[in-house]
Amino acid sequence: MAKGWYILHTYTGYESKIERTIKQLVESGELASDVVLDVKVPVEEVVEVKEGKRRTSVKKFLPGYVMLELALPD
């Protein structure tokens, strides 16, 4: 099997919903768990300073994209 990372393009703002849906499909058996190995939405923690207060927030590193690790059959 060829194992590798693939990029899925989606509408911006729907990345987390797509991630949850793919994980639910794998858990329910509609997608093969030996094919879909991992699903990730690339995010980064950003520290912002507003009015003298430090605030940490999580922002999408690549908006509109979901990363999939797949093991595709030869």
HSE-CB of 42 using CA atoms within 13 angstroms? 14
How much is the pLDDT for 19? Answer: 95
How much is the pLDDT for 74? Answer: 78
Q: What is the DSSP letter of 30?
A: S
Considering the four listed CATH numbers 3.30.70.380, 3.30.70.940, 1.20.1530.20, 3.40.1350.10, the one that applies to the domain covering 2-72 is: 3.30.70.940
Q: What share of residues in the chain are helix, strand, coil (percent, to 5)?
A: 20, 50, 30
Whether residue 40 contacts residue 19, with contact meaning beta carbons closer than 8 Å, is answered with yes
How much is the pLDDT for 1? Answer: 74
| 0.95 surpassed by pTM | no
Q: What angle do CA 11, 13, 15 make, to 5 degrees?
A: 75
The tens-digit pLDDT sequence of the chain (74 residues) is 789 999 999 999 999 999 999 999 999 999 888 899 999 999 999 999 988 899 999 999 899 999 999 998 87
